[in-house]
Chains A and B, each alone.
Chain A
Amino acid sequence: QKEVEQDPGPLSVPEGAIVSLNCTYSNSAFQYFMWYRQYSRKGPELLMYTYSSGNKEDGRFTAQVDKSSKYISLFIRDSQPSDSATYLCAMSYTGNQFYFGTGTSLTVIP
Chain B
Amino acid sequence: DAKTTQPPSMDCAEGRAANLPCNHSTISGNEYVYWYRQIHSQGPQYIIHGLKNNETNEMASLIITEDRKSSTLILPHATLRDTAVYYCIVRVDSGGYQKVTFGTGTKLQVIP
**Are A and B physically bound partners?**
no
Which residues of A line the B interface, CB within 8 A? none
